Chain A
Amino acid sequence: MGQFQFEIGISILLLLLGYFFGRHAEKRHFHSIRQREEEYRDVLSIASKVTTAEDSAKPGMLVTGSVVISVDYFKRFLALLRTIFGGRVTSYETLLDRARREAILRMKEEARSLNADRIFNIKLETASISKNAAGNIGSVEVLAYGTAISRVNQGGFSND
């Protein structure tokens, strides 16, 4: 039975580590997200395909932002318990909310560096890395992409 107790001990240790580090990282991340969302408020992100009339002469550019966040042991264990009882997997909801917002922020960052102040036709894609591979803790990727419209009127297409 010694080995069994050892394995239980390891699992509890992983749970505690996952909880404390995961919680700390999440708090810090949300704090940083809120701060940067304020900072990038001037870069409009719009889901609509329809641009305004004045934009028609300005160059549109593909901008992307992607992020990969790892699931911690605690979140995964909670989600596993949810597979028994059903209901909202709240532990993954925060994870994905963070990933989506972070991806949009990175996209905005790219748009700003390209001197764009608005992004049209925003799309989000989510992928799970390593899926259900045994012994893998798994992480989630969120990719945000859209068409950024430059502030300045340059006209035509360009590959620069």
Chain B
Amino acid sequence: MIYRNPKIPEGINYSNANPVKEFALLASGAIAIIILAIYLLGSLLDWSSKFIPFAYEQELAEPWVKQFKGNPTTQQNEVAAYLQRLADDMTPLMALEDDVEITLHYVNSDTVNGVATLGGNIFIFRGLLEKLPSENALAMLLAHEIVHVKLRHPVKALSKGALFTLLYAVLSGQSNTDVSGLFSGTSQFAFLGFSRSQEQAADDEALRVLHEYYRNTQGASELFNVLLEESQQSGVEVLSVFHTHPEVTKRLLNTETVSGINNWPTKGQSVKIPAHIQELVQQNKLQQSAE
């Protein structure tokens, strides 16, 4: 036998293709899978939230609500009781599930906001209450927050938050991320924003309730005008508070559209917030600025 060593031909045992192309293709595929998984998990959570018993939600919120409320004065309790009465007047129009309980809280703080959180707890801040021109506007605000509770938006936000914490723990590979204690710090989820579509749903149903309660939707435009003025005044800061709310002008427009379609009058008699409640709110304000 005659042995020879020919030149080794190139490109048989390996590929000359640019690895960046391969990397781009594989990485985008992997990212697409992750995004799809997050989306599917999110949708699953969204759908399954309605099976979480309301009582569990209440239990979860209780310690946090206690802490957040502090020790309200009798004056504050009186304002809260008024808010509660107004809410209780409206809830029969909303077909809430039997086990859902709405609890109104009044917070003496300059924050211009109203928040629906876990366990049917709704916080109305003095900053917003003192700016509302009528009970109609207040009713719209309460109806909006109650619809959030009815549609289980807080618990959906909570489960989304838990999902992201979990994903963060998995992706970062951090063993010190407290996955087991996901729900122990409920407070960090309590102010989780709702999505635009959730806000839209809340607005739409609140409009219906408002119409059924007052036979007009005046309160909606009154409320949104307050929010609009506020967002124009302090710019970025307030915008961030309302950033998941559809832009206020769009909400105003939506009020007109929805009212128009359903033939609901947008103007009507305005009901004043009772004078003694207004007085209490003003006293609260003076108290706080004195402190």
> CB distance A78 to B19 under 8 Å?
yes
Contact of B171 among A4, A43, A75 (CB under 8 A): A4
> CB distance A97 to B13 under 8 Å?
yes
- In the bound complex, what is the Cα–Cα distance between A50 and B3 (angstroms)? 11
How many residues on chain B are close to A (CB under 8 Å)? 24
Closest to A52 in B: B1
Closest beta carbon of chain A to B25's beta carbon, Å: 9
Contact of B168 among A1, A44, A77 (CB under 8 A): A1
> CB distance B172 to A3 under 8 Å?
yes
Within 8 A of A (CB), among B190-224: none
Closest to B10 in A: A34
Interface of A is mostly: helix
Segment of B26-34, B70-78, B113-121, B272-280 engaged in the interface with chain A = B26-34
Q: Does B17 contact A (CB under 8 A)?
A: yes
> CB distance B14 to A78 under 8 Å?
no
Q: Which of A4, A38, A46 has the most CB of B within 10 A?
A: A4
Q: With A4-B168, A4-B172, A44-B5 as given contacts, are A81 and B19 in contact (CB-CB < 8 Å)?
A: no
How many residues on chain A are close to B (CB under 8 Å)? 34
Encoded as 1 (CB less than 8 Å from any B CB) or 0, chain A from 65 to 97 comes to 000000000110110011011001011011011
Q: Does A101 contact B (CB under 8 A)?
A: yes
> CB distance A81 to B5 under 8 Å?
no
> CB distance A93 to B14 under 8 Å?
yes
Within 8 A of B (CB), among A34-59: 34, 37-38, 41, 43-46, 48, 50, 52
Q: Does A160 contact B (CB under 8 A)?
A: no
Q: With A4-B172, A37-B8 as given contacts, are A85 and B15 in contact (CB-CB < 8 Å)?
A: no
Residues of A within 8 A of B171 (CB): 4
Contact of A44 among B3, B15, B30, B33 (CB under 8 A): B3
Closest to A98 in B: B14
Residues of A within 8 A of B7 (CB): 37-38, 41
Residues of A within 8 A of B27 (CB): 81
Q: Does A112 contact B (CB under 8 A)?
A: no
Residues of B within 8 A of A106 (CB): none
Q: With A74-B19, A78-B23, A93-B13 as given contacts, are A85 and B3 in contact (CB-CB < 8 Å)?
A: no
Q: With A81-B27, A81-B30, A97-B14 as given contacts, are A45 and B172 in contact (CB-CB < 8 Å)?
A: no
Closest beta carbon of chain A to B216's beta carbon, Å: 46
Residues of B within 8 A of A3 (CB): 172, 174
- A-contacting residues of B (Cβ < 8 Å)? 1, 3-5, 7-8, 10, 13-15, 17, 19-20, 22-23, 26-27, 29-30, 33, 168, 171-172, 174
9 residue pairs, one from A and one from B, having the closest CB atoms = A81-B26, A93-B14, A94-B14, A97-B14, A97-B13, A90-B15, A4-B172, A44-B5, A46-B3
9 other A-B residue contacts (CB within 8 Å) besides A43-B5, A50-B1, A84-B29: A38-B7, A41-B7, A45-B5, A75-B19, A84-B26, A84-B33, A85-B29, A90-B15, A97-B14
